[in-house]
Amino acid sequence: MSLLDALARTIGSEHVLTDADVVRGYETDWMGRRLGACLAVVRPGSSDEVAAVLRACADARVPVVPQGGNTGLVGGGVPVGGEVVLSTRRLTGETVVDAEDARVTASAGTTVAQVQAALTPHGLELGIDLASRDSATIGGLVATNAGGLRVPRFGHVRRQLLGLEAVLAEGVRVERLSGLRKDNSGYDLPSLLCGSEGTLGVVTRACLRVWPLASQRVTVVLGLDDLAACVGVVRRLRARLPQLECVEAVFADGVEQAVALGARRVLDRRAPVELLVEAVDRTGRGDTLLHDVLAALEDTAALATAVATDASGRQALWERRERQPEVVVRLGGTALKLDTAVRLGQLPAYELDVRAAVAATDPGARLVLYGHVGDGSLHVNVATDPEHAADVRDAVFDVVRTHGGSLSAEHGIGRDKRQRLDWVRTEGEITVMAAVKRALDPGGILNPQVLLPA
């Protein structure tokens, strides 16, 4: 019996896709930069079916590429040639909200927006939010240890993860979904699988912390002279404003591009950089949040300021920041989306060095910087031409390395950065990671060209 016949018998022929037009969307990343080819796309509907698919592929020694919402930016979910793509989009079982223990259990194919919709009637919300909330799946968030907009307050997904269910390469199911806050009983397998980018197992369900729904939100945009001034504001806010949740920066050129795409101007004076600050009250104990925010920002040398407390006003302030991911795509040429991180104090010098390195490598490149200043993360987006793309990327990575930073703040390593993993991880760490990979995936079938160097 062929592998395709075995898979069809296991999950139904209607969920084993081979038609070229049908599978094309699974073979291409959302930016259209990577186009691979797969043997088939399989869409299991339960963890048992995931296990059966992996057993069949392991027996046939055919590699498997797990894929969630296909919103990744480092090639980790796109096939190269001949693999089976295992889509988790049908893993959309019931989302279980436990309001008493402040946790939610959701299937891997459920989107962030769908989980949030289930939480809202209970007066709860996730500590995770990101621009791709309508397409990014819970399984994908866990697999990549995603970051997003609320990291300054809640941290990455790993800090929100209370448990998970996953299936290992040979079909063994690992389940730890008790959601206990204290359980010191051996290795923390959920934490190990979180951030493994589909190389150790396929996440099928996850249990996450949840938080009281915000009773008040205050959003402020400050026009500042430079990134050094932004860092100064961040330090001040960390000391004075415990309700701080988001700190985002957009530079003047990115603001202009976002306005050209339809975003509104909110400052009465243009500034070299706009710093967006959001603070949240989840206690419902009073109406002091606006006062607390303004007091924390007192004496800040802002060129201009805009403040909003209502939903529509806050949306207007967020608009220029949330349009940034699409800006570089609209500039034409080859779009590089590099997520980097350095220590907070290094950010101003790092920004200047990145700008100089890109200009020296390709004077015609268009550079758009923005980022999560609250956690030292700067997205380096470059519109260049195919001839210069690799050199520009290497130049940026050289600057990251010089500043002791990370090549992957939140997107993951994927295929794109695997040969530079030793720039940010020691030889000993990589040796241990490879040993874990061999132990959990002895046949090497799960995402074999992702994360670990060749």
Name which of 16-25, 30-39, 349-358 the model is least confident about: 30-39
**How far is Cα 52 from Cα 210, in angstroms, rounded to an integer?**
32
In one-letter notation, the amino acid at residue 164 is L
Q: Are strands 366-372 and 244-251 parallel, antiparallel or unpaired?
A: antiparallel
Using one digit for the tens of pLDDT, what is the confidence trace for 255-272?
999 999 999 999 999 999
Q: Are strands 366-372 and 304-308 parallel, antiparallel or unpaired?
A: unpaired
pLDDT band at 238 (very low <50, low <70, confident <90, very high): very high
- Per-residue pLDDT at 132 exceeds 90: no
Instruction: Tell me the average pLDDT of the chain.
Output: 94
Rg, Å, the chain Cα set: 22
For the record, the structure tokens of 336 come out as: 């590089």
- Per-residue pLDDT at 158 exceeds 90: yes
DSSP secondary structure letters along 178-206: ---S---SS--HHHHHTTSTTSSEEEEEE
61-88 mean pLDDT: 92
The continuous run of DSSP H or E covering 47 comes out as helix 47-60
Return phi, psi of residue 369, to 5°.
Answer: -110, 140
The continuous run of DSSP H or E covering 235 comes out as helix 227-240
**Which residues have CB under 8 Å from 284's CB, separation 6+?**
212, 215
Confidence (pLDDT) at 330: 84
pLDDT band at 377 (very low <50, low <70, confident <90, very high): very high
**How far is Cα 53 from Cα 42, in angstroms, rounded to an integer?**
8
In one-letter notation, the amino acid at residue 39 is L
Confidence (pLDDT) at 111: 95
Confidence (pLDDT) at 329: 81
- Per-residue pLDDT at 34 exceeds 80: no
How far CA 59 is from CA of 5, 11, 447, in Å, comes to 13, 17, 16
Length of the chain, in residues: 454
Confidence (pLDDT) at 180: 84
**How far is Cα 388 from Cα 62, in angstroms, rounded to an integer?**
35
Using one digit for the tens of pLDDT, what is the confidence trace for 87-105?
999 999 999 999 999 999 9
- Per-residue pLDDT at 31 exceeds 80: no
Confidence (pLDDT) at 285: 73
Confidence (pLDDT) at 452: 95
Confidence (pLDDT) at 317: 97
17: which strand partners? 41
Using one digit for the tens of pLDDT, what is the confidence trace for 282-318?
987 768 999 999 999 998 989 999 999 999 999 999 9
- In terms of pTM, does the model score above 0.85? yes
Q: Which domains does the chain have, with CATH numbers?
A: 3-87 (3.30.43.10), 96-211 (3.30.465.10), 216-322 (3.30.70.2190), 327-413 (3.30.70.2740)
Confidence (pLDDT) at 454: 83
pLDDT band at 86 (very low <50, low <70, confident <90, very high): very high
pLDDT band at 279 (very low <50, low <70, confident <90, very high): very high
**How far is Cα 188 from Cα 419, in angstroms, rounded to an integer?**
28
In three-state secondary structure terms, 151 is: helix
Q: Of 169, 170, 129, which is closest to residue 146 (Cα–Cα)?
A: 129
pLDDT band at 48 (very low <50, low <70, confident <90, very high): very high
168: which strand partners? 201
pLDDT band at 182 (very low <50, low <70, confident <90, very high): confident
